[in-house]
A = this chain, B = another copy of it.
């Protein structure tokens, strides 16, 4: 494995220029932060879940983000309609399998979404993605449980099976598709002490996927930018709340030079 350079900063600039509309059907816990993190990078978030409008909203969007963190059966039905509309338009669909492995409902609905619609990027923590890959792991609510398997292999296999990009976030993030993978080693442990950092990462990926067709490159770039901002924030924060404020503000002020210099991407 060797260190490589990706043009994450260039993609961030493209987002700021084109202000892509990122349509979300997400959870009620972190919905504000998911919207606000995208404002920081100049994207245009919209949250809309009524089954009567999700198709229309997806048609004016540049990408679609689904997150099953506080799913209900009806909500997932709206997700399917939105995803079908996004598929028809040809915009990327990101699915955060939040809490997969914690309950039967989450597993069933995640698989329904994967089987009935085209999902372009599957994203979760180690135990969530392992569950989607068929492993018998028990996620602890929405927090990751230990997974013993080789995660890079697991991500690659799932990416092949589902013909998509797979993202496993953690101390080191794995981004894999059929052809290649990235390892992103940016970030800070402080991210684990704030609710919503995983959901926000998914929204970031949604924004980058709106401006870059190579979806694995888009996902790795999103994580690089987000986690470099997190590193800068962690340096000055005495606790998670201050850290969160600084994360947003560093992301808002982030420039290409800092990203080029700070990125820790391996292949």
Name A residues whose Cβ lies closer than 8 Å to a Cβ of B: 19, 21, 23, 27-33, 35-36, 39-40, 44-50, 52-53, 56-57, 60-61, 69-73, 99, 102-106, 138, 140-143, 193-196, 237-242, 244-250, 252-253
Chain A to chain B contacts (Cβ below 8 Å), 9 pairs: A36-B195, A39-B240, A40-B193, A46-B141, A48-B99, A56-B103, A193-B252, A241-B245, A241-B252
Query: Of B70, B141, B241, which one neighbours A61 at CB under 8 angstroms?
Result: B141
Contact (A36, B194) CB under 8 Å given A239-B250, A248-B241, A250-B239:
yes
Copies in the complex: 3
Q: Which 9 residue pairs across A and B have the least CB separation, nearest first?
A: A239-B249, A46-B141, A241-B248, A53-B105, A56-B103, A53-B103, A241-B245, A50-B72, A36-B195
Pair A249/B245 contact, Cβ less than 8 Å: no
Query: Of B44, B46, B50, B102, which one neighbours A57 at CB under 8 angstroms?
Result: B102
**Set of chain B residues within 8 Å of A21, measured between Cβ atoms:** 140-141
Rounded to whole Å, the gap between the CB of A71 and the closest CB of chain B is 6
Pair B253/A249 contact, Cβ less than 8 Å: no
**Set of chain B residues within 8 Å of A23, measured between Cβ atoms:** 141
Q: Which B residue sits closest to A233, measured CB to CB?
A: B241
Contact (A45, B195) CB under 8 Å given A23-B141, A141-B23:
yes
Query: Of B33, B39, B141, which one neighbours A193 at CB under 8 angstroms?
Result: B39
Rounded to whole Å, the gap between the CB of A263 and the closest CB of chain B is 21
What is the CA–CA distance of A13 and B70 in the complex, to the nearest angstrom?
29
Given contacts A21-B141, A36-B195, 17 further A-B contacts (CB under 8 A): A23-B141, A32-B32, A32-B196, A40-B241, A44-B141, A45-B141, A46-B102, A49-B70, A50-B71, A53-B103, A53-B106, A56-B104, A60-B138, A239-B248, A239-B253, A240-B252, A241-B247
**Set of chain B residues within 8 Å of A31, measured between Cβ atoms:** 28-29
Contact (A73, B46) CB under 8 Å given A239-B248, A248-B239, A249-B238:
no
Pair A242/B245 contact, Cβ less than 8 Å: yes
Q: Which B residue sits closest to A190, measured CB to CB?
A: B252
**Set of chain B residues within 8 Å of A33, measured between Cβ atoms:** 32
Rounded to whole Å, the gap between the CB of A178 and the closest CB of chain B is 33
What is the CA–CA distance of A27 and B73 in the complex, to the nearest angstrom?
19
Query: Of B19, B69, B195, which one neighbours A39 at CB under 8 angstroms?
Result: B195
Q: Which B residue sits closest to A143, measured CB to CB?
A: B44
Rounded to whole Å, the gap between the CB of A137 and the closest CB of chain B is 13
What is the CA–CA distance of A235 and B72 in the complex, to the nearest angstrom?
43
